[in-house]
Chains A and B, each alone.
Chain A
Amino acid sequence: MSTENNGEKNKMETSTTPSSLSSVAAASKRTGINTRPMGTGLEARNVHAWFGTHHALADVSLDFASGTVTALIGPSGCGKSTFIRTLNRMHEFIPTAAMAGQVMLDGKDIYDPSVDVTKIRLQIGMVFQKPNPFPSMTIGENVLSGLKLAQLKTSNKEELLEECLMKAGLWAEVKDRLNAHGGSLSGGQQQRLCIARSLAVRPQVLLMDEPCSALDPGSTLRIEETISELSSSMTIVIVTHNMQQAARVSDYTAFFLSDGGPGQMIEMAPTSEIFARPRDKRTENYVTGRFG
């Protein structure tokens, strides 16, 4: 498999865009963005991850510039979720986990012993695959729960509540029932509630681990709109299995793959490039749906 890839690699780089790819590339709203915005943002340097002795992820170096949306794509089991969890130190929650490498936020390694891990997670928020509103709290309490958990003070709770729900695209639907329980919302609404909850502590970076995989197309569309609106003010990293989604919402795309060994980052490029002119044969096979 790999010898075949190497053999055809040069051919790929010189070939013109296949017509099947141009339609996906055209679907990308954000094809114009090719330059790196200012700010250092988040940066992974040679990150490895292990579960026990199992080497799950090897040598991933990625730059997430401020104000960009980066999509991580790749087949199941290639280490995307593991990687995203190393970015806000959720990885260490698993008892046998280990890692190597550095994750820099604004130039400072978040794994440095002098760093308070809870503050890191305040700055780098996370939205999970399954919507997980806190069952004992109302909608309003859910949004503000991060402030309570981290014991942060805010001058105007109502204002913050409205702002976060607005940004998450949920305000119009829930403004009359903020005292209802989070569980009374639909799946898509619950996920937007979880996004609003992450926004309330004002993170610099938002990590999203397949946030739409449990949702219907309508809710998915709403969340994608939310991501586009948020991307002006924060850095977003989104894991997705849906390549159209990656094309629609992201500025950059990174392709991960595991060929039996640890998962590795194969290729990272502006999203339009990845879908129109992938440089690696494996990336091309994946984005055109030939495997995975």
Chain B
Amino acid sequence: MSSNVAPVVTNFDHVSPIRPWQASVRDRLITTGIFLGSVAMSYLIIKLTGLSGKLGFFATFLSVFTTVNATRDYFRFGSASAKDSLVNTLVAAGAFITIVPISSILYTVISKGIKGIYPALFFRDMSLNAPNDPLNVGGLGHSIVGTLLLVSVALVFSVPIGILTALYLTEIKGRFSQPIRFLVQAMSGVPSIVAGLFIFSAILIPITKDNSSLLGSLSLTILMIPTVARTAEEVLNLIPNDLREAGIALGGTQWRTVAMIVVPAAKSGLITAIILGIARIAGETAPVLLLAGGGDKFNFNPTSGPMGSLPYYIWRSFGAGSPEAVTRAWTGLFVLLVIVFALFAVARFLGNRKVGK
């Protein structure tokens, strides 16, 4: 064989990149055809047999679509490929089934809640109105203030404690690691009312003798710490030990290594830990009702006086029973959802920012 030397070519503009492994237009058309055909066929089956309802239709469609797809792959590439396609379709169906109830809930909350929205809603409270009043008076401003105060004060307490606990478990690995890990895990199963009763009997009765949102936040802190600590521990465990060794080998103390290398590397995971913590407490009703008392008036002082919150507002409105009150409750749910999503978005944004910016 003679040697070959590549000719000197530097311009390849005439060559265009392709992805031969992706489904071609023809493949996509066939898949769409199978999809539509399966819909039609399941409709027929529903009409002709005793099956009925949306669930029956979905089940029929799923089995028809899966079978046809798998058969097609069987004739193209054989049985292994058919099984692959079968599992693929089932996995996609599983994901779809997860989405259905979530989007259904979202749809219900939004469509029912949006009716009660009017601009002044966010700046008024219910101190002069009953839940049964018409929808254009009163508001839930006091509940938003209450929920934000409850959650943010709880965050101030629980995030440092939770993350420090996780750092103790993963970085220091002291002799109390095992019992602490066990207690943290056990605590994550504590019912919220137990946390509420604990603060009630330990602080409210003997010391303050009055409702306040601070006490509510303390009980939420008890609920949130285990979630934050456990998730943060998992995240910190994923950071490769090489990084810690590299930091220490450069002459860093353990504290500098953890603060400069380990925690920044785990940043987005730690943010996720905090998000999960917020998700755990944002909708809590029982301990808040017990300790913050629930109120219909604006209260900007977390240390004294009864404080309303969105879950309390929802609970009270549903209890009142009239159509206006029920719409108020849905509106409260809608606003609570928006707030939780907004908190998630902010946390994600902070977590995704490039290190060093």
Contact = CB atoms under 8 A, between A and B. Distances in A.
Given A118-B80, A265-B6, 8 more contacts: A35-B1, A58-B15, A98-B19, A113-B24, A252-B1, A267-B3, A269-B3, A270-B3
B100 interface: no
A114 B3 CA distance: 34
A99 interface: yes
B132 interface: no
Given A58-B12, A98-B18, A262-B12, A116 B81 contact: yes
A59 B15 contact: yes
Contacts, number: 74
B101 interface: no
B10 interface: yes
B139 to A, nearest CB: 48
A150 interface: yes
A34 B1 contact: yes
Chain B interface secondary structure, helix, strand, loop or mixed? loop
A51 to B, nearest CB: 10
Contact of B16 (A100, A118, A267): A100
Task: Kindly name the residue among B3, B77, B78, B80 whose own CB sees the greatest number of chain A CB atoms within 10 A.
Answer: B3
Contacts of A26: none
A36 B3 contact: no
B81 A118 contact: yes
Nearest to B1: A36
Interface string B1-12: 101111011101
B8 A111 contact: no
A100 B17 contact: yes
A100 B21 contact: no
B6 A113 contact: no
A222 interface: no
Interface in A250-287: 252, 261-262, 264-270, 273-274, 279-280
B179 interface: no
Given A116-B77, A261-B10, A267 B15 contact: no
Contacts of B80: 118, 150-151
B6 A264 contact: yes
A36 B4 CA distance: 14
Interface string A38-58: 000000001010100001001
B4 A55 contact: no
A16 interface: no
A117 interface: yes
B53 interface: no
Interface string A107-126: 00001111011110000000
